[in-house]
Homo-oligomer: A and B are copies of this chain.
Amino acid sequence: MAAIPIKNRLSPKAPQDTPSRILEAAERLFLQHGFAATSMRMITAEAEVNLAAVNYHFGSKDALIEAVFTRRLGPLNRQRLGHLDRLESLAEGAPLKLETIVEAFIGSAFVNEGSANDGARLFAQLLGRAYSEPSGGVRDILYNQNKEVIKRFKAALKKALPHLSAEELVWRMHFVFGSISYTQSGTDALRLVAKYELSDGSYPQTVVKRLLPFLCAGLQAPATMHAPTVLAKVS
Protein backbone atom coordinates (compact mmCIF):
# COMPACT_ATOMS: atom_id res chain seq x y z
CA MET A 1 0.00 0.00 0.00
CA ALA A 2 1.04 3.62 -0.38
CA ALA A 3 3.37 5.08 2.21
CA ILE A 4 1.54 8.26 3.24
CA PRO A 5 -1.98 9.23 2.25
CA ILE A 6 -1.86 12.26 0.02
CA LYS A 7 -4.24 14.30 2.13
CA ASN A 8 -1.96 14.05 5.15
CA ARG A 9 1.03 15.51 3.41
CA LEU A 10 1.90 18.99 4.54
CA SER A 11 4.94 19.56 2.36
CA PRO A 12 5.23 22.97 0.69
CA LYS A 13 3.25 23.29 -2.50
CA ALA A 14 1.45 20.01 -1.80
CA PRO A 15 -0.44 19.26 -5.03
CA GLN A 16 -3.95 19.00 -3.62
CA ASP A 17 -7.03 18.51 -5.71
CA THR A 18 -8.64 21.60 -7.16
CA PRO A 19 -11.68 21.87 -4.85
CA SER A 20 -9.46 21.74 -1.75
CA ARG A 21 -7.07 24.28 -3.17
CA ILE A 22 -9.99 26.60 -3.81
CA LEU A 23 -11.51 26.09 -0.37
CA GLU A 24 -8.28 26.87 1.38
CA ALA A 25 -7.45 29.88 -0.72
CA ALA A 26 -10.96 31.20 -0.14
CA GLU A 27 -10.60 30.65 3.60
CA ARG A 28 -7.43 32.72 3.72
CA LEU A 29 -8.74 35.52 1.55
CA PHE A 30 -12.17 35.78 3.18
CA LEU A 31 -10.40 36.15 6.49
CA GLN A 32 -8.09 38.82 5.20
CA HIS A 33 -10.46 40.92 3.10
CA GLY A 34 -14.00 39.91 4.01
CA PHE A 35 -16.49 38.14 1.79
CA ALA A 36 -17.78 40.90 -0.46
CA ALA A 37 -14.31 42.31 -1.06
CA THR A 38 -12.85 38.98 -2.12
CA SER A 39 -13.37 38.27 -5.82
CA MET A 40 -13.32 34.88 -7.48
CA ARG A 41 -10.35 36.08 -9.46
CA MET A 42 -8.40 36.66 -6.28
CA ILE A 43 -9.35 33.22 -5.08
CA THR A 44 -8.41 31.37 -8.23
CA ALA A 45 -5.15 33.28 -8.48
CA GLU A 46 -4.25 32.40 -4.88
CA ALA A 47 -5.24 28.78 -5.41
CA GLU A 48 -3.38 28.70 -8.73
CA VAL A 49 -6.35 27.20 -10.53
CA ASN A 50 -8.42 28.37 -13.45
CA LEU A 51 -11.10 30.99 -12.95
CA ALA A 52 -13.84 28.75 -14.29
CA ALA A 53 -12.96 26.03 -11.78
CA VAL A 54 -14.93 27.69 -8.97
CA ASN A 55 -18.18 27.64 -10.88
CA TYR A 56 -17.49 24.16 -12.15
CA HIS A 57 -16.89 22.69 -8.71
CA PHE A 58 -19.13 24.82 -6.50
CA GLY A 59 -21.68 26.50 -8.77
CA SER A 60 -21.41 30.08 -7.54
CA LYS A 61 -19.56 32.36 -5.17
CA ASP A 62 -22.30 32.09 -2.56
CA ALA A 63 -22.18 28.32 -2.74
CA LEU A 64 -18.42 28.49 -2.28
CA ILE A 65 -18.81 30.60 0.85
CA GLU A 66 -21.24 28.08 2.23
CA ALA A 67 -18.89 25.22 1.37
CA VAL A 68 -16.02 26.91 3.18
CA PHE A 69 -18.06 26.85 6.37
CA THR A 70 -19.81 23.52 6.13
CA ARG A 71 -16.56 21.70 5.51
CA ARG A 72 -15.12 22.66 8.88
CA LEU A 73 -18.18 23.33 11.00
CA GLY A 74 -19.31 19.69 11.14
CA PRO A 75 -16.06 18.27 12.54
CA LEU A 76 -15.56 21.24 14.86
CA ASN A 77 -18.99 20.94 16.39
CA ARG A 78 -18.76 17.17 16.71
CA GLN A 79 -15.54 17.78 18.61
CA ARG A 80 -17.18 20.32 20.89
CA LEU A 81 -20.12 18.06 21.62
CA GLY A 82 -17.83 15.08 22.18
CA HIS A 83 -15.77 17.10 24.63
CA LEU A 84 -18.90 18.12 26.50
CA ASP A 85 -20.28 14.57 26.46
CA ARG A 86 -17.13 13.23 28.06
CA LEU A 87 -17.14 15.91 30.74
CA GLU A 88 -20.79 15.35 31.57
CA SER A 89 -20.55 11.58 31.81
CA LEU A 90 -17.61 12.00 34.17
CA ALA A 91 -19.62 14.38 36.35
CA GLU A 92 -22.58 11.99 36.54
CA GLY A 93 -25.32 14.59 36.63
CA ALA A 94 -23.57 17.09 38.87
CA PRO A 95 -23.11 20.59 37.44
CA LEU A 96 -19.78 21.01 35.68
CA LYS A 97 -17.24 23.52 36.86
CA LEU A 98 -17.79 26.74 34.95
CA GLU A 99 -14.23 27.03 33.77
CA THR A 100 -14.39 23.52 32.37
CA ILE A 101 -17.43 24.31 30.28
CA VAL A 102 -16.05 27.52 28.89
CA GLU A 103 -12.72 25.89 28.18
CA ALA A 104 -14.45 23.09 26.31
CA PHE A 105 -16.22 25.58 24.11
CA ILE A 106 -13.53 28.11 23.62
CA GLY A 107 -10.58 25.75 23.58
CA SER A 108 -12.14 23.72 20.81
CA ALA A 109 -12.65 26.88 18.86
CA PHE A 110 -9.05 27.99 19.10
CA VAL A 111 -6.90 24.88 19.13
CA ASN A 112 -8.57 22.42 16.83
CA GLU A 113 -8.31 18.78 16.02
CA GLY A 114 -4.83 17.30 16.04
CA SER A 115 -3.62 20.90 15.96
CA ALA A 116 -1.00 19.83 13.43
CA ASN A 117 -3.28 21.35 10.84
CA ASP A 118 -3.13 25.11 11.00
CA GLY A 119 -5.92 25.38 8.44
CA ALA A 120 -8.21 24.75 11.38
CA ARG A 121 -6.75 27.69 13.23
CA LEU A 122 -7.31 29.91 10.23
CA PHE A 123 -10.89 28.78 10.21
CA ALA A 124 -11.31 29.71 13.85
CA GLN A 125 -10.39 33.24 12.89
CA LEU A 126 -12.74 33.19 9.95
CA LEU A 127 -15.55 32.16 12.28
CA GLY A 128 -14.87 35.25 14.31
CA ARG A 129 -15.28 37.38 11.24
CA ALA A 130 -18.40 35.57 10.10
CA TYR A 131 -20.19 36.27 13.36
CA SER A 132 -19.80 39.97 12.77
CA GLU A 133 -21.04 39.87 9.19
CA PRO A 134 -24.31 41.46 8.12
CA SER A 135 -27.42 39.40 8.71
CA GLY A 136 -28.50 36.82 6.21
CA GLY A 137 -26.19 34.71 4.12
CA VAL A 138 -23.28 33.56 6.23
CA ARG A 139 -25.14 34.10 9.46
CA ASP A 140 -27.94 31.74 8.57
CA ILE A 141 -25.45 28.99 7.85
CA LEU A 142 -23.82 29.54 11.22
CA TYR A 143 -27.13 29.61 13.00
CA ASN A 144 -28.29 26.33 11.54
CA GLN A 145 -25.05 24.48 12.01
CA ASN A 146 -24.42 25.73 15.54
CA LYS A 147 -27.81 25.62 17.17
CA GLU A 148 -27.36 22.13 18.60
CA VAL A 149 -24.00 23.02 20.13
CA ILE A 150 -25.30 26.25 21.58
CA LYS A 151 -28.31 24.47 23.07
CA ARG A 152 -26.08 21.96 24.81
CA PHE A 153 -23.68 24.55 26.17
CA LYS A 154 -26.53 26.74 27.29
CA ALA A 155 -27.94 23.84 29.29
CA ALA A 156 -24.57 23.11 30.87
CA LEU A 157 -24.06 26.77 31.77
CA LYS A 158 -27.55 27.00 33.23
CA LYS A 159 -26.71 24.25 35.69
CA ALA A 160 -23.38 25.80 36.57
CA LEU A 161 -24.85 29.28 37.04
CA PRO A 162 -28.13 28.77 38.90
CA HIS A 163 -28.25 32.39 40.08
CA LEU A 164 -28.88 33.64 36.54
CA SER A 165 -32.29 33.85 34.91
CA ALA A 166 -32.65 32.28 31.47
CA GLU A 167 -32.72 35.73 29.95
CA GLU A 168 -29.67 36.96 31.79
CA LEU A 169 -27.79 33.84 30.74
CA VAL A 170 -28.61 34.42 27.09
CA TRP A 171 -27.22 37.93 27.28
CA ARG A 172 -24.05 36.77 28.98
CA MET A 173 -23.48 34.11 26.36
CA HIS A 174 -23.92 36.86 23.82
CA PHE A 175 -21.21 38.91 25.49
CA VAL A 176 -18.97 35.85 25.67
CA PHE A 177 -19.35 35.22 21.97
CA GLY A 178 -18.47 38.83 21.38
CA SER A 179 -15.16 38.59 23.18
CA ILE A 180 -14.36 35.29 21.53
CA SER A 181 -15.24 36.44 18.02
CA TYR A 182 -13.39 39.69 18.36
CA THR A 183 -10.35 37.96 19.72
CA GLN A 184 -10.47 35.21 17.12
CA SER A 185 -10.95 37.47 14.17
CA GLY A 186 -7.39 38.60 14.30
CA THR A 187 -5.01 40.23 16.68
CA ASP A 188 -4.75 43.24 14.42
CA ALA A 189 -7.46 44.89 16.46
CA LEU A 190 -5.21 44.65 19.47
CA ARG A 191 -3.11 47.40 17.99
CA LEU A 192 -6.00 49.73 18.67
CA VAL A 193 -5.23 49.31 22.33
CA ALA A 194 -1.53 48.53 22.36
CA LYS A 195 0.47 49.98 19.55
CA TYR A 196 3.58 48.19 20.73
CA GLU A 197 4.25 44.54 20.12
CA LEU A 198 3.02 42.15 22.79
CA SER A 199 5.58 39.81 24.25
CA ASP A 200 3.65 36.57 24.02
CA GLY A 201 2.15 37.30 20.64
CA SER A 202 -0.97 35.68 19.36
CA TYR A 203 -0.36 32.04 20.10
CA PRO A 204 -3.74 30.41 20.58
CA GLN A 205 -2.98 28.75 23.91
CA THR A 206 -1.82 32.04 25.36
CA VAL A 207 -4.94 33.82 24.21
CA VAL A 208 -7.21 31.16 25.67
CA LYS A 209 -5.31 31.32 28.94
CA ARG A 210 -5.96 35.04 29.14
CA LEU A 211 -9.51 34.88 27.91
CA LEU A 212 -10.72 32.16 30.28
CA PRO A 213 -10.52 34.03 33.60
CA PHE A 214 -12.09 37.09 32.06
CA LEU A 215 -15.06 35.19 30.68
CA CYS A 216 -15.61 33.05 33.76
CA ALA A 217 -15.56 36.04 36.06
CA GLY A 218 -17.97 37.87 33.77
CA LEU A 219 -20.36 34.94 33.66
CA GLN A 220 -20.31 34.63 37.44
CA ALA A 221 -21.06 38.29 38.07
CA PRO A 222 -24.11 38.94 40.26
CA ALA A 223 -27.39 39.16 38.36
CA THR A 224 -28.38 42.54 37.01
CA MET A 225 -30.52 44.74 39.19
CA HIS A 226 -33.61 46.08 37.49
CA ALA A 227 -33.33 49.62 38.77
CA PRO A 228 -32.52 52.62 36.59
CA THR A 229 -28.81 53.20 36.22
CA VAL A 230 -26.90 56.36 36.88
CA LEU A 231 -26.96 57.14 33.20
CA ALA A 232 -30.73 57.40 33.17
CA LYS A 233 -30.56 60.87 34.71
CA VAL A 234 -31.27 63.57 32.18
CA SER A 235 -28.36 65.62 30.99
Contact = CB atoms under 8 A, between A and B. Distances in A.
A188 B177 CA distance: 13
A198 interface: yes
Interface in A166-189: 167-168, 170-183, 185-186, 188-189
Nearest to A154: B193
Interface residues of A, number: 80
A2 interface: no
Copies of chain A in the complex: 2
B213 A215 contact: no
Given A34-B34, A175-B214, A221-B216, A205 B232 contact: yes
A107 B217 CA distance: 21
A193 B213 contact: no
A32 to B, nearest CB: 6
A208 B228 CA distance: 11
A196 to B, nearest CB: 9
Contacts of A115: 235
A139 interface: yes
A89 interface: no
Contacts of A220: 217
A33 interface: yes
Nearest to A170: B194
Contact of A192 (B143, B188, B226): B143
A9 B198 CA distance: 49
A221 B232 contact: no
A199 B167 contact: yes
Contacts of A175: 179, 182-183, 211, 214-215
Contacts of A129: 132
A191 B131 CA distance: 12
Contact of A132 (B143, B181, B194, B228): B181
Contacts of A231: 103, 107, 111, 205, 208
A193 B179 CA distance: 15
A142 B193 CA distance: 11
Interface in A55-111: 100, 103, 107, 111
B213 A192 contact: no
